[in-house]
């Protein structure tokens, strides 16, 4: 692979504008090469060596001082030196700004670690640390030593371990690290940090005036006073804390020295360290790639121009901030030491595996089984068609009853499989166009599913569903018992139970982290607006708005197997209670989404969220009116029908406009790409126009509920399923462009990392006093 492609593939997607523009510089050098070929210069011509002193700004300008034959022929070719200086200044400025950010974050994590150690001491040794006098500590140690000598060997070992752990925990709060490594440093930033830290409990130092180089223990006040200046952060992440915040009750920010609270604090800080370490890794990679790009481009420059300027200019690059700074490397080492000591029980391999998760390798067996299941799906579909056609099942008396009762049960799996296939396609194109969907959704690094895994799951489910269809493809009841086979009639319910069992399975099988991630998002949707709304939560709610028919199928499952006589395939959907729930079930996803918008309006004070809530409310009204009309017996232009059409048109127009303008960021009149947006990941503009047209047309698929549409060879339930599938396809198209727009917004703001809430907050007044 050429370096240009490798360079692009290794970029942090959200920082791509901040990297050295290698391709542009390469194109300028090609112009110089083309000019030399046209003028046919002597092959032995070489310019003078660099003598001018290089500086950070315009460091390359001296190259053109005595090389006039590059100036007049091609203005762009002659500007390569100045452009190279601009690129060096750009990457230096960006790298320096990011280093400043990690310095501040490191300082904050340093304070968090001081609070954690004090908190841990308070929890693990509450009686031992009642006194703040270190003389008492020394007395305790001396007394314990005497007791150890008078005890049995096993008791002595246990006592020694207990007290050594206590001493070690106190030593961990020491900020200074002796030259001999006697004390454990807990700060993660370098020694030149300007932050002020609390006094430590034990300071192990080497006495300069001690000829034997002995170690002296100096007593200082215990670091527990840091707990007087910190509080537990309340992020309103639970319904209980949200309600307390609304009622302005006690938010529970006071410190409670319990094992439960300690575990929660440690888990939060552990996530913060992991995310911070990933930021440092990407920052180090940014520095390495840019320096390598400068080296490559200078080699090309020397080769094309016949000069020997790379050595002098690369010296300038090495002496610049990005080439000379080792802040990221030093911070990485300190983070590793702190994380291994405090969060992995000094197990280096365990700690490094958490900090540096290995990328998942594509497994051939996943591809193999996906192909196998796909072939089985095709074979089973052909088998169903052959059985229906040869057996003339649609012509038998029980076919209508089968379509009325069993087709809604099996159509549920059609909706799920189609949605999974569309999402797998989304992942494929997100990866192809380098949309960082793992970061946008907030997956733990290395746990996000690829399109192959999604296709594997969808085809596997399709095989199970088609297998149950063939097993239950029976149109005639037993004339003796006047019923159908009990076990075959329970197959759809058994498959639903199996899916639910897999979904809630606590064991680490079948992509547990992803299953629990989906369940968490679903729970947040159900509890809206009691949870803080994140992108995965409202993205999940948007998916559910396109699965209204699937949710109605679940309602039908409860009705059919709970109150209906499934052995005789009796209808259960004609009761008043069932029809009432048709209204409720249809508006549930839109209600969740509306409540999420109201929660964001309350927190962010963004009026656009209020307009978005109104959009979903208009959809709720339209769905209610369409449901009311679909259940009415009159098909004339009554007031109910007029209201259904009017509200649906308004909702469809508003939703379409919102999709194109706000969700996709398109229809910008003054953009570089007319009626699209300035930045596009797909190079063909026609793709965006086709997507906008298809989205608008599919938004009006509801017309089939208010305009009589009869297809002679299709049953009414099959027609409903087809239009439900069209809505799922529209959602799949929407997904790609929605995440593309989100990704480009992150790129514009250089936002490449998650914001991890920290467990402690410091009193600002005390920090100012320091």
> Which band of pLDDT confidence, cut at 50, 70 and 90, is reported for residue 403?
confident
Q: Report the alpha-carbon distance of residue 335 to residue 330 in Å, rounded.
A: 9
- Three-state SS annotation for 105-145: HHHHHHHHHHHHHHHHHHHHCCCCCCCCCHHHHHHHHHHHH
Whether residue 434 is predicted with pLDDT greater than 60 in this model: the reply is: yes
Highest mean pLDDT out of 26-40, 243-257, 392-406, 609-623: 609-623
Q: Report the alpha-carbon distance of residue 231 to residue 261 in Å, rounded.
A: 12
Domain ranges of the chain: 3-96+277-355, 131-221, 364-384+404-748
**Whole-structure pTM value:** 0.79
Higher pLDDT, 235 or 679: 679
Q: Determine the average pLDDT of the residues in 630-649.
A: 81
> Which band of pLDDT confidence, cut at 50, 70 and 90, is reported for residue 196?
very low
CA of 636: how far to CAs of 213, 631, 697, in Å? 102, 13, 25
> Which band of pLDDT confidence, cut at 50, 70 and 90, is reported for residue 482?
low
pLDDT at position 213: 41
The 10s digit of each residue's pLDDT in 576-610 is 888 899 999 999 999 999 999 999 999 899 999 99
| Tokens read off for 241 | 């804390």
| Tokens read off for 312 | 């002098």
Query: Which residues share a beta bridge with 762?
Result: 230
Higher pLDDT, 224 or 422: 422
- Three-state SS annotation for 427-438: HHHHHHCCCCHH
215-219 vs 230-232, strand pairing mode:
unpaired
- Per the CB < 8 A criterion, the answer to whether 488 and 471 are in contact is yes
Query: Measuring CA to CA, which residue among 521, 518, 527 is closest to residue 595?
Result: 527
Whether residue 63 is predicted with pLDDT greater than 80 in this model: the reply is: no
Show the DSSP H helices in 472-508 as ranges.
Answer: 486-489, 491-503
| Tokens read off for 546 | 């396109």
pLDDT at position 456: 96
- Per the CB < 8 A criterion, the answer to whether 20 and 294 are in contact is yes
Q: Report the alpha-carbon distance of residue 322 to residue 752 in Å, rounded.
A: 19
pLDDT at position 426: 97
Whether residue 39 is predicted with pLDDT greater than 70 in this model: the reply is: yes
The answer, yes or no, to whether the previous bond of 529 is cis (omega within 30 of 0) is yes
- Per the CB < 8 A criterion, the answer to whether 456 and 369 are in contact is yes
Whether residue 142 is predicted with pLDDT greater than 50 in this model: the reply is: no
Report residue 34: phi and psi, to 5°.
Answer: -65, -40
Query: Measuring CA to CA, which residue among 137, 120, 329 is closest to residue 219?
Result: 137
- Per the CB < 8 A criterion, the answer to whether 64 and 15 are in contact is no
Q: How many CA atoms lie within 13 A of 459 on its CB side?
A: 21
Q: Determine the average pLDDT of the residues in 434-458.
A: 90
pLDDT at position 663: 95
Q: Determine the average pLDDT of the residues in 548-556.
A: 93
Whether residue 173 is predicted with pLDDT greater than 50 in this model: the reply is: no
Q: Determine the average pLDDT of the residues in 529-556.
A: 93
Q: How many CA atoms lie within 13 A of 724 on its CB side?
A: 26
Higher pLDDT, 62 or 600: 600
Q: Report the alpha-carbon distance of residue 665 to residue 675 in Å, rounded.
A: 10
- Per the CB < 8 A criterion, the answer to whether 675 and 666 are in contact is yes
Q: Report the alpha-carbon distance of residue 11 to residue 292 in Å, rounded.
A: 13
Give the range among 289-293, 402-406, 413-417, 666-670 with minimum mean pLDDT: 402-406
Q: Report the alpha-carbon distance of residue 747 to residue 733 in Å, rounded.
A: 22
Higher pLDDT, 701 or 43: 701
Give the range among 107-116, 491-500, 573-582 with minimum mean pLDDT: 573-582
pLDDT at position 58: 42
Query: Measuring CA to CA, which residue among 239, 257, 241 is closest to residue 249?
Result: 241
Q: Report the alpha-carbon distance of residue 272 to residue 266 in Å, rounded.
A: 10
Those residues whose C-beta lies under 8 Å from the C-beta of residue 388, and which sit 6 or more positions away, are 394, 473
Looking at residue 205, the DSSP 8-state letter turns out to be E
Q: Is 66 exposed, middle or buried (0-12, 13-18, 19+ CB in 10 A)?
A: exposed
CA 55-60-63 angle, to 5 degrees, is 130
Highest mean pLDDT out of 113-117, 632-636, 691-695: 691-695
Q: What is the DSSP string of 229-280?
A: GEEE-----SHHHHHHHHTT-----S----HHHHHHHHHHHHHHHHHHHHHH
Those residues whose C-beta lies under 8 Å from the C-beta of residue 367, and which sit 6 or more positions away, are 452
Those residues whose C-beta lies under 8 Å from the C-beta of residue 501, and which sit 6 or more positions away, are none
Q: Report the alpha-carbon distance of residue 343 to residue 289 in Å, rounded.
A: 31
Largest CA-CA distance found in the chain, in angstroms, rounded:
107
Whether residue 194 is predicted with pLDDT greater than 50 in this model: the reply is: no
pLDDT at position 712: 74
Whether residue 184 is predicted with pLDDT greater than 80 in this model: the reply is: no
Give the range among 111-125, 270-284, 533-547, 660-674 with minimum mean pLDDT: 111-125
> Which band of pLDDT confidence, cut at 50, 70 and 90, is reported for residue 254?
low
> Which band of pLDDT confidence, cut at 50, 70 and 90, is reported for residue 150?
very low
DSSP element (H, E) containing 762: strand 760-762
Query: Measuring CA to CA, which residue among 296, 290, 241, 292 is closest to residue 264?
Result: 241
- Per the CB < 8 A criterion, the answer to whether 564 and 513 are in contact is no
Q: Determine the average pLDDT of the residues in 172-196.
A: 38
pLDDT at position 294: 92
Quickly tell me which residue has 């053109």 as its tokens. Answer: 64
pLDDT at position 244: 66
Whether residue 493 is predicted with pLDDT greater than 70 in this model: the reply is: yes
Those residues whose C-beta lies under 8 Å from the C-beta of residue 433, and which sit 6 or more positions away, are 681, 682, 740
Q: Report the alpha-carbon distance of residue 289 to residue 520 in Å, rounded.
A: 38
pLDDT at position 752: 73
The 10s digit of each residue's pLDDT in 276-330 is 999 999 999 999 999 999 999 999 888 888 888 888 889 999 999 999 988 999 9
Q: Determine the average pLDDT of the residues in 464-491.
A: 80
Query: Measuring CA to CA, which residue among 528, 62, 634 is closest to residue 316?
Result: 62
Q: Report the alpha-carbon distance of residue 408 to residue 380 in Å, rounded.
A: 19
Q: Is 710 exposed, middle or buried (0-12, 13-18, 19+ CB in 10 A)?
A: exposed
> Which band of pLDDT confidence, cut at 50, 70 and 90, is reported for residue 710?
confident
Q: Report the alpha-carbon distance of residue 258 to residue 50 in Å, rounded.
A: 68
Q: Determine the average pLDDT of the residues in 736-764.
A: 83
């Amino acid at each position: 692979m050429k370096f240009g492609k490798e360079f692009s593939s290794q970029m942090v997607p959200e920082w791509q504008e901040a990297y050295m523009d290698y391709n542009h510089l390469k194109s300028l050098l090609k112009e110089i090469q083309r000019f030399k070929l046209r003028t046919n210069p002597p092959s032995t011509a070489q310019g003078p060596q660099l003598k001018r002193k290089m500086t950070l700004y315009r460091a390359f300008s001296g190259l053109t001082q005595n090389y006039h034959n590059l100036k007049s022929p091609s203005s762009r070719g002659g500007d390569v030196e100045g452009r190279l200086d601009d690129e060096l200044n750009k990457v230096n400025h960006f790298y320096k700004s990011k280093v400043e950010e990690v310095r501040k974050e490191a300082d904050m994590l340093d304070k968090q670690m001081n609070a954690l150690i004090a908190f841990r001491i308070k929890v693990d040794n509450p009686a031992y640390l009642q006194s703040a006098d270190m003389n008492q500590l020394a007395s305790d140690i001396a007394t314990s030593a005497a007791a150890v000598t008078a005890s049995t060997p096993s008791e002595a070992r246990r006592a020694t371990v207990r007290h050594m752990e206590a001493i070690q925990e106190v030593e961990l709060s020491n900020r200074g690290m002796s030259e001999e490594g006697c004390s454990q440093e807990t700060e993660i930033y370098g020694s030149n940090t300007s932050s002020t830290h609390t006094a430590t409990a034990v300071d192990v130092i080497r006495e300069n005036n001690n000829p034997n180089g002995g170690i002296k223990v100096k007593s200082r006040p215990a670091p527990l006073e840091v707990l007087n200046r910190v509080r537990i952060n309340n992020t309103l992440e639970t319904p209980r804390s949200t309600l307390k915040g609304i009622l302005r009750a006690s938010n529970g920010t006071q410190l409670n020295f319990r094992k439960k609270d300690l575990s929660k604090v440690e888990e939060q800080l552990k996530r913060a360290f992991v995310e911070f370490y990933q930021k440092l890794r990407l920052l180090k990679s940014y520095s390495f790639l840019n320096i390598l790009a400068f080296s490559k481009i200078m080699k090309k420059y020397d080769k094309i121009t016949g000069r020997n300027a790379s050595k002098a200019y690369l010296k300038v690059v090495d002496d610049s901030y990005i080439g000379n700074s080792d802040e990221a490397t030093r911070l990485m080492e300190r983070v590793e030491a702190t994380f291994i000591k405090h969060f992995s029980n000094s197990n280096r391999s365990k700690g490094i595996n958490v900090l540096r998760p290995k990328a998942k390798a594509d497994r051939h067996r996943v591809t193999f089984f996906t192909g196998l299941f796909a072939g089985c799906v095709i074979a089973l579909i052909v088998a169903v068609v052959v059985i229906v056609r040869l057996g003339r099942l649609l012509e038998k008396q029980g076919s209508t009853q089968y379509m009325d009762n069993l087709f809604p049960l099996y159509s549920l799996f059609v909706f799920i499989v189609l949605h999974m296939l569309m999402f797998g396609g989304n992942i494929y194109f997100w990866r192809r166009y380098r949309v960082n969907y793992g970061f946008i959704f907030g997956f733990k690094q290395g746990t996000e599913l690829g399109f192959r895994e999604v296709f594997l799951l969808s085809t596997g489910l399709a095989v199970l569903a088609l297998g149950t269809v063939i097993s239950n493809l029976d149109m005639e009841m037993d004339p003796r018992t006047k019923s159908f086979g009990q076990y075959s009639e329970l197959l759809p319910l058994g498959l639903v139970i199996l899916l639910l069992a897999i979904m809630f399975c606590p064991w680490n099988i079948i992509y547990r982290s992803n299953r629990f991630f989906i369940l968490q998002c679903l729970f947040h949707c159900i509890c809206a607006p009691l949870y803080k709304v994140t992108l995965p939560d409202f993205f999940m709610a948007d998916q559910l708005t396109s699965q209204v028919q699937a949710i109605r199928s679940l309602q039908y499952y409860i009705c059919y197997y709970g109150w209906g006589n499934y052995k005789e395939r009796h209808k259960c959907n004609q009761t008043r209670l069932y029809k009432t729930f048709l209204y409720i079930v249809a508006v549930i996803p839109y209600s969740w989404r509306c409540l999420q918008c109201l929660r964001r309006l309350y927190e962010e004070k963004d009026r656009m969220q209020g307009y978005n809530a109104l959009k979903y409310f208009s959809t709720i009204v339209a769905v209610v009116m369409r449901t009311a009309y679909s259940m009415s017996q009159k098909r004339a232009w009554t007031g109910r029908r007029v209201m259904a059409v009017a509200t649906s048109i308004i909702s469809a127009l508003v939703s379409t406009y919102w999709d194109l303008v706000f969700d996709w960021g398109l229809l910008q009149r003054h953009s570089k790409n007319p009626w699209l947006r300035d930045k596009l990941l797909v190079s063909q503009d026609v793709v965006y126009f086709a997507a906008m047209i298809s989205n608008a047309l599919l938004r009006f698929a509801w017309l089939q509920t208010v305009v009589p549409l009869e297809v002679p060879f299709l049953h009414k339930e099959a027609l409903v399923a087809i239009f439900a599938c069209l809505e799922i396809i529209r959602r799949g198209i929407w997904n790609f462009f929605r995440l593309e727009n989100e990704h480009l917004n992150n790129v514009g703001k250089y936002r490449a990392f998650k914001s991890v809430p920290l467990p402690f907050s410091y009193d600002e007044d005390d920090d100012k006093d320091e």
